[in-house]
Structure 1
Amino acid sequence: MVQTASNGLSHKDLYLFNQGTSYHSYRFMGAHLVRVDGTDGVRFTVWAPQAAKVRVIGGFNEWTGTMHEMERIDETGIFSLFIANIGEGELYKYEIVTPDGSMIRKADPFAFFAERRPGTASIVTSLSGYKWKDSTWNKKKKKLPAYTNPLLIYEVHAGSWKIKGKEDFFTYEELADDLIPYVAEMGYSHIELMPIAEHPFDQSWGYQITGFYAVTSRYGTPKQLMRFVDKCHQSGIGVILDWVPGHFCKDDHGLRLFDGTPIFEGADAKRAEKPLWGTLAFDFGKEEVVSFLISNAMYWMEMYHIDGLRVDAVASMINLHMDKPPEMHTYNYLGGPDNLDALRFIKKLNETVFHYYPDTLMLAEDSSAWPAVTAPTYKGGLGFNFKWNMGWMNDMLRYMELDPSERSNHHHLITFSLLYAFSENYVLPLSHDEVVHGKRSLLNKMPGSYEEKFAQLRLFYGFWMTHPGKKLLFMGSEWGQFDEWKDGDMLDWMLLEYEMHNSMHHYVKTLNRLYVDQASLWERDSEHDSFEWIDVHNAEQSVISFIRRGNSSFTIVLANFSRNDYGEFRIGVPEPGAYRSLMNSNDKQFGGTESLVQKSYNSERVSWHGHEQSITLHLPPLAFLFITLESGNTL
């Protein structure tokens, strides 16, 4: 028999919450519609260990807390109260009397929904009753492990993909009607949504959160988000959420000094403060905070059927010194800068997620050189299954921004990544971070004339798509936006009316299909021998060539990063036979200059690049070629 503490709460649940092992604490913390002694109402439960008193206030008591004081039900500071004859839709907050006698009002940390900003109240909301129709997707997911299958992610900011007017956003359902067919047509396997937990400031893009369990009301209700995810799954598209467990914003109604003291953040301001972002770090040494965060990860998977989490700012979580001036540096008990509590939390997070949801994607957005980020925890790793390859991204964007005449002196920028490409399971991200704050759009990073910008972006995308690692592209980049991402407006869809942008859009769609169709590009993505250089040293001509291998097929990539046109360019090939180009980025249909037809290249017994056979072909300037044997797969 389960022993209860009060209002139907079990001693076991409270104990696990205090021990950092309550992985579904949203089932009893926060506001829940319940029946007590035959009467319907709402049970409110909150953690406020240093509070002198906690009261529930809302429209049902004219926001006067004296009527509804909560009971402290255990010595660790969990308060609870059942209020009869109220139900779904009620607005509420907690009125907390702090240890010094002050009175503050706070939103519920476990609220499932909240007022649309600038309102700050929580809303009593039931998440039950939605009838999911994604069983086919769930079965398919178990049969198609991400390591050995295509992973092609489209990153979306829900408030600017499309909008109806200034601050007149598409709802989750309206997004489903437009976004899902578009993503399916373009060939992406997953949508990654930038943070959709409740946040007060639009320009934080959701990275500074007040309601970690509340779906932001900007775009609709929890049930509408459920329908969005369900429709994605019914269309064969997975959903990844950008998740932010490293820090939270300082707004008065949020987690900061929640009971008048630092309970979610640490007491040491040097550790708690995130000066670069103006936020506060979670105190991963508190077991209740660990329960809060791991439960939050589980919540998105259980209640919303989310397929994966992109865990934001891992480097900032694990390094006590990151983005802090020397006077704010602190050290662990061993004298080092590693946040040992954060490292324990991350390992526990991944162990828990994969225990309950073994097919989940856990992607680390990590700019550090921490080893074994994607190794299992039992082997000393952090336990993620993928890591963003920030090094590749930074090197390649730096290289592509160079004038082609300068690239021969920086050849290492396109080859260095292969020295570590198989040290982790990587995703190659071209994300929102690279097209804001004066960094320019991907297209506008490219040097040269109008035509050369498009040619180089096509070349860059071709190399990106064939380099080892899974793929992520930020919305709008698929047609080559000229302007940076404008988070307050929708994407520049009108650019598709212009020939070059429309051709770029067609190119990316075709490239996506080529990636999905060619098993050599993903079947053995994490294995060293899936990649082989043909010629890595051709810095003088700024040309690289390599082979990608699957289980039973191989393909050849040739990329010319110079403005030179090589009329007869010879490369070694691994087998004799007739080869042909599956894609040439200089094709007129993609905005190039050549009307190309499928052409065969018969290999010759001429030793080249360490191979007994070689072929000769035309290599246009600033062009990417994808080549296969005649017997290989075709688009």
Structure 2
Amino acid sequence: MQHTVENYSLFTDFDVSLFRAGKHYKLYEKFGSHALFHEGRSGTYFAVWAPNAEAISVVGNFNGWNPYSHALHVRWDGSGIWEGFIPNIGVGELYKYRIRSYQGETLEKGDPFALQWEQSPGTASVVSTTWYEWKDEAWMRARHERNGLNKPVSVYEMHLGSWIRSPDDPDKLLDYRGIADKLVPYIKDAGFTHVELLPVMEHPYYPSWGYQITGYFAASSRYGSPQDLMYLIEQLHLNDIGVLLDWVPSHFPGDAHGLYRFDGTHLYEHQDPRQGYHPDWSSYIFNYGRNEIRSFLISNAIFWLERYHADGLRVDAVASMLYLDYSRKEGEWIPNEYGGRENLQAIGFLKELNEAVYQHFPDVQTIAEESTSWPGVSRPVYSGGLGFGMKWMMGWMHDTLQYFSRDPLFRQHHYGQLTFSMLYAFHENFMLPLSHDEVVHGKGSMVYKMPGDEWQRFANLRALYLYMYTHPGTKLLFMGCEFGQTAEWNYNQSLDWHLVQYEPHQGVFEFIKSLNRLYRNEPALYEHSFSPTGFEWVEGGDAYNSVLAYVRKGIRREDDVLVVLNLTPIVRYFYRCGLPSHGEWIVLLNSDDRGYYGSGIEQSAVQAEPIRWMNQDWSAQLTLPPLGGLVLKRNPERQGGSTEVQQEVVAPVKAIQASKPAKARRKVKKDPDNEA
């Protein structure tokens, strides 16, 4: 029986012209399913793009999945848009599009613009809404103060399904609201400024970690409704914590209900596998040269920023988009029109994406995961760049982890792996990532990358984190690394939270908390994160002793801090170090403090002496802790300031020390997971 689908449209002629030109950036307001009132009746409007379809009908639980009940109307303008209004159905209905191609093929597809999908393994779309009564107005108004390039940005990267699970059933995922109740106080305590969520968009294959997306406009129903995710983001905002979303415009899976061969042709992807198939991930590459696809993807980016109040997007696998020969052998790729390997269409798309995002939301950040030396990734489009706000500093990450994994005995021969980053540190606006990719697939956990016995492993880890937090650039740390998770990350189970009861792990967590406080409170560590103005070597050549010293500079000279690292297990007494100015220098942070599970080698305040050393007019003799580092600053009382910053960082550690009997401070509670 044929039911009436009324020939109604949300599209104006201007909408259609923008869409076809690739300039419509809010397609989600038109395409998809929209529960609304039309001529006094409630129902749902459907719109889908399928220019090569011969017929399309909406099938769902409201019509018994009958392919002949509700046929959509194709627009007369040649746009390939099919649409119509079906009365008496609304939010909560399951549906798909039944598409018959001109080749006689019949397909059942989910809605590319669906706001919700049924829970996996189901593959139907759901008529839904993103209406939510937000309460984060204060955060949104002041967001520019938290997201600026001259502000502290310390990111906690996390996968929702494996951060923590139900205490009653370890196989049961917590929903967005349950996660919010636990995550918000944890992040506040740890001191991170932002949370970055691995993709929360709907994906059918859970082991993909969210990187194989089918529902680009839908929050994963594994964790609840769209409004539940909004609640999580809102609660973070209400507690002054920003939210970044991992976003994947580089590829999509070939699931039968997804975007692949959507109308029986290669609509969203390139037809030629040399351009349209990704060999690394067995997925398909968007056709960035097609106007409608650019509108689809840019609209998706705008959607998450507008409807979900996201504070930024971390764009995945940018390198794979930039190069036509990425992961391809000779003969497996097609050169561009000039004979080069650059993907000109993808480059154009990325520039347009960033221009559109920053035009609509000047107070957010786009962050590129780009692993090559492509120039100008985080430079404005008008100056020839790609327009991203920041770029992951992959070279720093590889060199640093390789250095810290070496036996300290041999580090003197690889000193340049730590100093090399400063040759290019300001070519881009870099974010320093210790991400999920570094703790999976046999790479080992962060603490087990470190050499030595248990104490040395944790001392090395703290030294690594101190180096990271005081190096120019913003910071990103994957979940579990903040307390020294010993096992590799497993997407299918909770983090090993029981480890925090053990002193080494508790020490690392307390150290991360202190680092985050230091980072937020010391302007020199963030005001010039992306400018050579904010950095000066004091000692960048003592390879024999594996000692580095450098100054981080703020706008005001009195804010400058000195960082000294000793990356051997030897205590270096009477080590003369240059100082950038006269006066008394106090220790803001010592990674070897007993409260962090250190050995307790202390360095008290020192008076600068007029002895020229390390190209500085002033110097002093320091005691450098083993496998550790110091952060020093001129005594604020001697320059008319206060000691509030020092007290905020040091006081919690002193309280931990005071709570432990003196003889028990080095006593380690045995942990079977911790034995190398």
TM-score, normalised by the number of residues in structure 1: 0.98
- Residue pairs, 1:221-620, within 5 angstroms: 221-552=225-556, 553-594=559-600, 596=602, 599-620=604-625
Distance in structure 2 (CA, Å) of the matches to 1:530 and 1:202: 43
Which residue identity lines up with residue 161 of structure 1 in the other structure?
A: W
Q: By how many angstroms is 1:595 displaced?
A: 6.2
Q: Corresponding residue for 1:63?
A: 65
Give the secondary-structure state (helix, strand or coil) at the position aligned to 2:626. coil
* In structure 1, C-alpha distance between the alignment counterparts of 2:37 and 2:515, rounded to whole Å: 56
Question: Which deviations, in whole Å up to 9, do the C-alpha atoms of 1:431-458 show, x marking residues without a partner?
Answer: 1010000011110000111110000000
Q: Which residue of 1 aligns with 2:661?
A: none
Q: For 1:618-629, what aligned pairs fall within 5 Å after superposition?
A: 618-629=623-634
Instruction: Kindly indicate whether the alpha-carbon contact (under 8 Å) linking 2:594 and 2:600 is maintained by their aligned counterparts in 1.
Output: yes
**Aligned equivalents of 1:476, 1:158: Cα separation in 2:** 13
State the partner residue of 1:91. Answer: 94
Give the whole-Å Cα distance in 2 for the aligned partners of 1:88 and 1:460. Answer: 51
Contact 2:366 2:390 in 1 (8 A): yes
**Contact map agreement 2:147 2:364 (CA 8 A) in 1:** no
Amino acid at match of 2:197: L
> Does the 8 Å CA contact 2:170/2:494 hold for their aligned counterparts?
no
**Rounded Cα–Cα distance in structure 2 between residues aligned with 1:306 and 1:8:** 26
Which of 51, 54, 73 aligns to 1:52? It is 54
Partners of 2:144 and 2:364 within 8 A in 1: no
Q: Matches of 2:539 and 2:261 in 1, distance apart?
A: 59
Is the CA contact (8 Å cut-off) linking 2:195 and 2:243 kept in structure 1?
yes
Deviation at 1:206, TM superposition (A): 0.3
Code of the residue aligned with 1:603 in structure 2: it is A
State the Cα distance separating 1:6 from its structure 2 match. Answer: 4.0
- Counterpart of 1:101 (choices 86, 93, 104) is 104
What SS does structure 2 have at the residue aligned with 1:354?
Answer: helix
Q: 1:79 aligns with which of 51, 70, 82?
A: 82
Give secondary structure in 2 for the equivalent of 1:95. Answer: strand
RMSD: 1.3
Equivalents in 2 of 1:466, 1:388: separation in Å?
A: 16
Residue in structure 1 matched with residue 16 of structure 2 by the alignment: 14
C-alpha distance in 2, partners of 1:412/1:104?
57
Deviation at 1:8, TM superposition (A): 3.7
Cα shift at 1:317: 0.7
Partners of 2:146 and 2:498 lie apart in 1 by: 37
Contact 2:472–2:535 at 8 Å: present in 1 too?
yes
Provide closer, same or farther for how the CA distance between residues 603 and 80 of structure 1 changes in structure 2, counting only shifts above 3 A.
Answer: same
Unaligned ranges ≥5, structure 1: none
User: Are the counterparts in 2 of residues 166 and 488 from structure 1 also a CA contact under 8 Å?
Assistant: no
Letter in 2 for 1:412: G
Residue among 124, 146, 156 paired with 2:127: 124
Distance in 1, Cα, partners of 2:526 & 2:322: 30
In the alignment, structure 2 segments of 5+ residues that lack a partner are 1-5, 650-676
- For the residues of structure 2 that align with 1:453 and 1:232, how far apart are their CA atoms? 33
2:133 & 2:38 partners in 1: Cα distance?
27
Q: Deviation string for 1:234-287 (max 9, x for gaps)?
A: 110111000000100111100000011101001111111101101001000011
> Distance between the aligned counterparts of 2:357 and 2:617, measured in 1?
50
For residue 358 of structure 2, give the secondary structure of its aligned residue in structure 1.
helix
- TM-score, structure 2 normalization: 0.92
Q: How does 1:52-201 map to 2 (within 5 A)?
A: 52-73=54-75, 74-128=77-131, 130-164=132-166, 165-201=169-205
Per the TM alignment, residue 11 of structure 1 is displaced from its structure 2 partner at its CA by 1.6
Q: How big is the shift at 1:227?
A: 1.0
Determine the C-alpha separation between the residues in 2 that align with 1:503 and 1:613: 34
User: Equivalent residue for 2:215?
Assistant: 211
Of residues 295-304 and 167-176 in structure 1, the stretch that sits farther from structure 2 once superposed is 167-176
Between 615-624 and 238-247, the greater mean CA deviation after superposition: 615-624
Shift of 1:143: 3.8
Contact 2:161 2:173 (C-alpha < 8 Å) held by counterparts: yes
User: For the structure 1 residues 142 and 565, does the alpha-carbon distance in structure 2 shift closer, same or farther, using more than 3 Å as the test?
Assistant: closer
**Could you tell me how far 1:76 is from its partner in structure 2?**
2.4
Counterpart amino acid of residue 450 in structure 2:
M
Query: Is residue 276–residue 324 contact of structure 1 (8 Å, CA) maintained in 2?
Result: no
CA displacement, residues 184-206 of structure 1 (integer Å, 9 cap, x when unaligned): 11111111000000001111000
The residue identity in structure 2 corresponding to 1:584 is N
- Confirm or deny: 8 A CA contact 2:162 2:491 kept in the other structure: yes
- Are the counterparts in 2 of residues 5 and 11 from structure 1 also a CA contact under 8 Å? no
Superimposed CA distance per residue, residues 563-619 of structure 1 (whole angstroms, 9 cap, x where no aligned partner): 2221110101111111121111111110011164x7211111211101121110111
Mapped to 2, the partners of 1:141 and 1:308 lie a distance apart of 11
Structure 1: distance between partners of 2:10 and 2:552: 59
Distance across 1 between alignment mates of 2:386 and 2:325: 20
Structure 1 residue identity aligned to 2:573: G
Shift of 1:296: 0.2
Letter in 2 for 1:559: L
Give the number of aligned pairs.
630
How far has the Cα of 1:327 moved from its partner? 3.1
Do the aligned residues in 1 keep the contact of 2:146 with 2:152 (CA within 8 Å)? no
Counterparts of 1:209 and 1:288, CA distance in 2 = 19
> CA shift at 1:310, angstroms?
0.2
Identity across matched positions, percent: 43
Tell me which amino acid in the other structure corresponds to 2:547.
Answer: V
Give CA deviations for 1:361-381 in whole Å, capped at 9, x if unaligned: 110111121111111101111
Q: Is the deviation greater in 143-152 or in 56-65?
A: 143-152
How big is each residue's C-alpha offset from its partner over 1:359-415, in whole Å with a ceiling of 9 and x where there is no partner? Answer: 011101111211111111011110111111001001101111111111111111000
Q: Deviations over 1:207-247 (max 9, x none)?
A: 00110001100111001111111111111011100000010
For residues 398 and 205 of structure 1, the distance between their equivalents in structure 2, rounded to whole angstroms, comes to: 26
